[in-house]
Copies of this chain bind each other. A is one copy, B any other.
Amino acid sequence: MRVSRLMLNTLRDVPAEADIISHQLLVRGGYVKRLTGGIYAYMPLLWKVLKKITSIVEEELSTKGCLQTLLPQLQPSEIWERSGRWKSYTKGEGIMFSLKDRQGKELGLGPTHEEVITQIISQTIHSYKQLPINIFQIQTKFRDEIRPRFGLMRSREFIMKDAYSFHANENDLQSTYSDMRNAYENIFTKCGLDFVCVDADSGAIGGAASQEFMVTAESGEDLILISSDSKYGANQEKAVSIIEEGKLLEPNKPSIIKTPNQKTIDELCNYNDFHPSQIVKVLAYLATCDDNKKYPVLVSIRGDQEINDIKLSNKISQELKQNVLDIRIISNEDMQKQGISNIPFGFIGPDLSDNLLAQSKAWEKKFIRIADNSAKDLKSFICGNNIKDEHKIFYNWNLINTVQMICDIRKAKPGDRCIHDKTQKLQECRGIEIGHIFQLGTKYSKSLNATFTNEKGVEDHFWMGCYGIGISRLAQAAVEQNHDDLGIIWPTSIAPFTVIIIIANIKNNDQKCLAEDIYQKLIQDRVDVLLDDRDERAGIKFKDADLIGIPWRIVAGREASSGLVELHNRKTKITELLDLNSVFKKLSEEFNTEKL
C-alpha cells in the first residue's frame, strides 16, 4: 500500500477529546474518528490491526475446536424476560439500548448473547453425544454507557469476541474452561501483550467461577491485587487474603459496659483501650432486588476489617436468588421514612431484633444476617448492645441468639498476606480488562429451560461457559502498553503494516527506484509493507512513521545511489546502514524468530 492512497491524516496536536495516551495516539495517528460520544469509526489503519487480532483469535479458537457463527444484534425482549434480565439491562442503570419496531415489539441491541445462544443450542442439540459444543462470534456489541470514555476502552459500540460452551456435566465445563484459559494466554501472548489473569467477580453475567485477563497499565479502570510471585491475582472485587490474627480478647465473664457517645470503632478503642480486632463491627444495609423488594441486611465484620460491597451484594443475590440492583447503608432518613425510629446506630450488635422492622412500610420485616469469617472466628469479642451508649464485652457467638450466614465479604488490601503462600504479599496495580471467562453453570439453561437427553436417557440442563475478548479494546490496550514520546510502537503481530519504506526525497530518482524495488520485493515475500511516496519533507514522513508506529522503517536516502538504505527499529531505535540483501536477511530473520 502506498501512503498517498492511504488517506493518512495525522495530527500534531493532542486532541482535546482524549484523556489517556492511547486514545490520543489513536486519534493523532488517524486510526479512529469520533462520530459522537463513545462512537468511533475504525479507519483503514485500525481496521488492519483489528483484522490481525481477529485472525489470531480465530486461528487459536479453531485449534480448540470452536465453531464460528454470527448471532443477531437485535434481540427480542421475550428471551431476556425469560432469563429475568430484561428489566435490569434496559431500565435505570441498565446498559442495553432498546427500541420498538414498527409493530411496537421491543428489541434490545445485544451487549451479550447468553439468551440467544442458549435458545438456539437448545433447538439444535438434543443428545449428550453432540456435546460439548463451543461456539463463538466476532461482532459489534452495544452498551449505553453512563459515562463513555477513553476512546475504544469504554465506548458505546465495540467489537467483541464472545464464545459460549455447552456441556453434559460440570467436569466437562471445567475442562473446556481450562482449555479456553489456555487459548486466551496464547492469544494475548501472540498479540504481544503483557497481561495477567486474575480471579474475578461474575457480575451481571452470573455463574460460579470467572477470571479476567488484564493488560497492566496505569490508566486501567480496574484495580487488581497480585501476589509478588504473580501466582495469585484477583480483581479487587474478588480478592481474598489471609485474615491476620488480631489482638486476643481473653475470654471472661460476659457483661454490659457503658460506652457513652462511643459510636465508632476509633472512639470505642480510644476510650477503653480496646483493639479494633477485638470488636465485632455491625452495619445495617438495605438491598434493593429485582423482585422490587427492599431487604434490610445486618452485616458483622471484625472491627479492623472493611466490607467489600460486591462480595456482600453477591452473597445476598445468591441467598435470595434475586439480582441485587442496589445496596447501601441505611441512613436515619431511610428509617424515618419507614416509621422506624429506634435503631441505635453506633451500638448495634449482630443480634439486633427484627421487631424494630415491624413498623417499616416498604421493607421486608426480617434482617438478612451475614457474618464475615473474620468476625465469626472471634472466640471473645466486644459488640454493640442494641441500646444507646451500651456495648457487650467478653461475648461469644453462642450467646448471640440469631442465625448468621458465614462467608467472606471482607475487602482484601495491598500488603495483606496471600492465601496460596503466606510469605507473599498482595500488591495493587491497575489493569485494562481485555478478556473474561466464566463458568456459568446452569443459570441460563435453567431459566430458559434448555435441555438435552443425558447418558441415562433423562432430560438434563446444559452446563454452560462463556468467554469474551474485547477486540477493539485490546487494540487500544496494546497502544497504552506500547508507545513512547514519538507515538505508537505496535507489537509486530498486530501492526497495521510491518515495514514502512520512506523515500527521503521523492524528486531523487535513485531513492525512488531503490525504494520501489524494495517495495516490490517485500510485497512478493508477502510482507505487509507501506511505501511513503508522498511529496513531503523527509522529517514529516519520519514523524508520521513514528506516530503510526510501524515496527520497521527503511529509508532510501542519501546513500541510495550506493545501494544502501537505513533500517530502523521503532522499538529499539537502532538504525543500521545496510545493503538490500542484508536488509532482507535481517527482516526475514526477525520475522522468523517472532513466529517461533
Residues of A within 8 A of B (CB): 4-7, 9, 30, 33, 35-36, 39-44, 47-48, 50-51, 65, 67-76, 97-99, 101-102, 105, 107, 109, 116, 119-120, 123-125, 129-130, 133, 135, 139-140, 142, 144, 146, 156-157, 159
Contact = CB atoms under 8 A, between A and B. Distances in A.
A356 to B, nearest CB: 38
B33 A47 contact: no
Nearest to A102: B144
A98 B97 contact: no
A77 to B, nearest CB: 10
A199 to B, nearest CB: 31
Copies of this protein chain in the complex: 2
Contact of A69 (B42, B70, B71, B74): B42
Contacts of A65: 5
B5 A74 contact: no
Contacts of A124: 7, 9, 30, 33, 43
Given A41-B69, A74-B156, A75-B35, A99 B98 contact: yes
A227 B123 CA distance: 48
A39 B41 CA distance: 25
Nearest to A92: B102
Given A6-B67, A97-B99, 14 more contacts: A7-B124, A7-B130, A9-B123, A35-B75, A35-B76, A39-B74, A41-B69, A41-B72, A47-B69, A72-B157, A73-B73, A73-B140, A73-B157, A140-B140
Nearest to A65: B5
A548 to B, nearest CB: 14
Contacts of A69: 41-44, 47
B135 A7 contact: yes
9 contacts: A7-B135, A36-B107, A42-B69, A73-B73, A73-B140, A74-B97, A97-B99, A97-B101, A97-B107
A124 to B, nearest CB: 4
B30 A101 contact: no
B42 A74 contact: no
Contacts of A107: 36, 97
A109 B98 CA distance: 11
Q: Which 8 A-B pairs have the closest CB atoms?
A: A99-B99, A44-B67, A42-B70, A36-B76, A9-B124, A39-B72, A41-B71, A35-B72
A433 B140 CA distance: 26
A43 B73 CA distance: 14
B44 A135 contact: yes
Nearest to A132: B5
Nearest to A35: B72
A5 B68 CA distance: 12
B73 A44 contact: no
B99 A7 contact: no
